[in-house]
Amino acid sequence: MNNKPIRDTYLPYGRQWIDDDDISAVIKVLKGDYLTTGPYVSIFEQEVAKYVGASYAVSFSNGTAALHGACFAAGITQGDEVITTPLTFAASANCILYQGGKPIFADIDPKTYNIDPTEIEKKITTKTKAIIPVHFTGQPVSLDAVREIAKKHNLMVIEDAAHALGAAYKQKMIGSISDMTMFSFHPVKHITSGEGGIITTNNKEYYEKLLQFRSHGITRDQNRLVQNHGTWYYEMQFLGYNYRMTDIQAALGSSQLKKIDKFIDLRKKYASMYNEAFNHISELSIPFQDENGQSSWHLYIIRLHLEQLTASRKDIFEALLQENIGVNVHYIPVHLMPYYQGLGYKCGDCPHAEKLYEEIITLPLFPAMTEDDIRDVIKAVTTVISRYSKN
């Protein structure tokens, strides 16, 4: 029996694309006058705002910090409830806790894997302050339905678009639609600044709050000072945080942003190759594509039909790893985490998300892949599924 894996080298599920232009951009900063927050931060913010069609953008040290800032700007405080999805990274809910609020998990739509607007409606109480929908894998949430609910109940909408830079909903870019939108620049995302995040908004009041929040609650704006001792004077007016992005990060982000269309085109091309290869395999489902949304394809997830397989998801997962395919699982539902269980959340709270979690596998998808890499993944998946198929 030939035990040689399909690939000789390990293929991760995601990885950054860094070229000489990116390196040169960072070196230029290193040779300049600013390393921390300087002119490149403002340039990057303006570029991101222009790209998504928003009036303002405020950068942060990472996406989690950006979400925290958005919750602060939204006025979320002790006792407030904020509705979000359980099928996300913990930061989407943790940012609510940071402000003393309570995350309320609304179950997903089992077809789209995004938060189900009908479940949001069921969770609203007199304490509800905001909704944080997550564009899971880059597929936009049904924003019309979410915004209609928000308008009806006078709620804020903060989009977690960590997966969705470059995505669009009904021809409008994600980042230009809701009260605030967060993007992440972690290395596996569409562009990277090493670590980094940003909030886009069309609201000047939120913009100013975000700027001050990321810098200890300090302002030098003469029009906002309670006192003024002189040109050196500044005031800490509320408890903020040191969440600033550096010029090093911003320069890398700006260089990366120039390549975003190329990156997204490659993601779409590779996702189409997967779709074509897997569409007729009865033992799995390919991702749903909503006609109202244009996905930016951050992740490619297959859903196993375990009733048609002789193996568990774990078995399939491990078999793919043996072929040097760096699969992953996105995500363990947040309410199942031990910390959240300690807060009173429990299994059964979100049955659709819990069932989906048991059946999904994330396949490699990133621009630096080659078509041969994609074909290796396709061969590995088809081989492993065939090995364990009941059909």
Domains of the chain: 20-257 (3.40.640.10), 260-388 (3.90.1150.10)
pLDDT tier at 301, thresholds 50, 70, 90: very high
Backbone angles phi, psi at 46, to 5 degrees: -65, -40
Instruction: Please tell me the predicted confidence (pLDDT) of residue 3.
Output: 80
* Average pLDDT of the chain to the nearest whole number: 97
CA angle 109, 111, 114 (to 5 degrees): 45
Each residue's pLDDT tens digit, 170-205: 999 999 999 999 999 999 999 999 999 999 999 999
Q: Average the pLDDT over 231-246 and give the result.
A: 95
Residue 34 is given by DSSP the state -
Helix or strand (DSSP H, E) at 172 = strand 172-173
Give strand pairing partners of 58: 199
Residue 161 has pLDDT above 60, yes or no: yes
Instruction: Please tell me the predicted confidence (pLDDT) of residue 223.
Output: 87
Residue 32 has pLDDT above 80, yes or no: yes
Q: Average the pLDDT over 322-342 and give the result.
A: 98
Q: Average the pLDDT over 31-60 and give the result.
A: 97
CA distance 387 to 1: 14
pTM of the predicted structure, to 2 decimals: 0.97
Q: Exposed e or buried b for every residue in 290-306, given b needs 16+ CB within 10 A? A: beebbbbbbbbbbbbeb
Instruction: Please tell me the predicted confidence (pLDDT) of residue 222.
Output: 87
Q: What is the end-to-end Cα distance of the chain in Å, rounded?
A: 23
Q: Do the strands 102-105 and 81-84 form a parallel or antiparallel pair, or are they unpaired?
A: parallel
Give the C-alpha distances (Å, rounded to integers) separating 300 from 187, 198, 215, 365: 17, 24, 37, 6
Residue 1 has pLDDT above 60, yes or no: no
CA distance 373 to 325: 9
Task: Quickly list H helices, the chain.
Answer: 20-30, 39-52, 63-73, 91-98, 117-123, 143-153, 204-213, 247-257, 260-278, 313-322, 338-342, 351-357, 371-388
Each residue's pLDDT tens digit, 62-86: 999 999 999 999 999 999 999 999 9
Instruction: Please tell me the predicted confidence (pLDDT) of residue 2.
Output: 61
- Give helix 247-257 / helix 39-52 axis angle, nearest 10°: 30
